[in-house]
Amino acid sequence: MKRRLVVFGGGGFVGGNLCTIALRKGWEVHIADAAVRQAIPAAHWHALDITDAAAVRTLMQELRPAAAVDLAAVADIDRAEGERELAQAVNVQAAGTIAAACAAEGAACLYFSSDAVFPGTGGPYHEDDPLEPVNYYGRTKMEGERAVLRACPGAAVVRISLALGFPVTDGNSFFAALEAALQAGREIVAPADEIRTPVDVLTLSDCVLELLDRRFAGIMHVGSTDSIDRASLSRRAAALMGFPDARIRPEADLRPEGDVRVEPGGGAKPGRAPRHKHGIISVARAQAFLATPLVTAERSIERGIRERLPR
């Protein structure tokens, strides 16, 4: 009998890739998302408002899955800053509800978190280092981690810095936005002072499924074995996409108009939440535990572009 997996927020960029790979590995995949999409026809789709606690509990009781992954999030940093009640409801309260439902059904539980829980002034950050988010999004992820582990002490919390790849369903991705801007001939503003520890979505998905298989409990950082600044990452990705002469301007802030920005920087522009500068996370715990090999930032960039899954 196939093992049953429920992915909350499975219609997004990371979720769509994770569900596709899970299907290939023999899981029976159920996607719980705000809308049912045509993509990934082999998966079972469930329209669900994640903030409806009763609906979440009912779905888990009906499906009784072996495992559940919570990818549903208000992940846009500026939106989270401006819509705090929604960010709290999705990133914290719903996360706790899913974790409690997993505990009730005996399902493995995995919650996606972020390096935004750290201040981003140093690094490398380890799993047990003090948390000090600089924006409301990071604060909700910090609180979400705590809610999940309270409700389900056997849950896994996976912190990532930046996922690389392309969507197979919907959802925003750094590479998709970058490619569209390059195809339009736009200049790219890419901050050289923002450092991330990226992971391609294929490696990430393999790691997540292994953690579920092995019922890992606790917090784990998943990323590349080294870190890279956003300007260098953008240049390398542009070259691999076939745009070696792309106009990529390393700068920490936008001009008033005319530029493309794939991820805003840490400048104090009106209406923009602050960003953590150094998303430098240690992946030593993951390397010691996982059989899935973690790769360099260069290899993650290559995999994210050259090995994209078909839509």
Question: Which pLDDT does position 216 carry in this prediction?
Answer: 98
Active site residue 137: yes
Q: All domains of the chain, ordered by start, with CATH?
A: 4-162+198-223 (3.40.50.720)
| pLDDT, tens digit, 9 for 90 and up, residues 229-246 | 999 999 999 999 999 989
Average pLDDT, the chain: 92
Question: Which pLDDT does position 264 carry in this prediction?
Answer: 34
Taking 60 as the threshold, does the pLDDT of residue 79 lie above it?
yes
Question: Which pLDDT does position 307 carry in this prediction?
Answer: 96
What's the whole-number mean pLDDT along residues 66-89?
A: 96
Percent of the chain with pLDDT over 90: 85
Query: Given 111, 125, 136, 137, which residue is catalytic?
Result: 137
Q: Closest by alpha carbon to 125, among 42, 219, 249, 32?
A: 219
| pLDDT, tens digit, 9 for 90 and up, residues 41-67 | 999 999 999 999 999 999 999 999 999
Say how far apart CA 92 and CA 73 lie, in whole Å. 9
CB atoms within 10 A of CB 42: 10
Higher pLDDT, 267 or 3: 3
| pLDDT, tens digit, 9 for 90 and up, residues 279-296 | 999 999 999 999 999 999
Question: Which pLDDT does position 67 carry in this prediction?
Answer: 98
| pLDDT, tens digit, 9 for 90 and up, residues 101-114 | 999 999 999 999 99
Question: Which pLDDT does position 266 carry in this prediction?
Answer: 37
| pLDDT, tens digit, 9 for 90 and up, residues 32-43 | 999 888 789 999
Q: Closest by alpha carbon to 59, among 70, 69, 47, 71?
A: 47
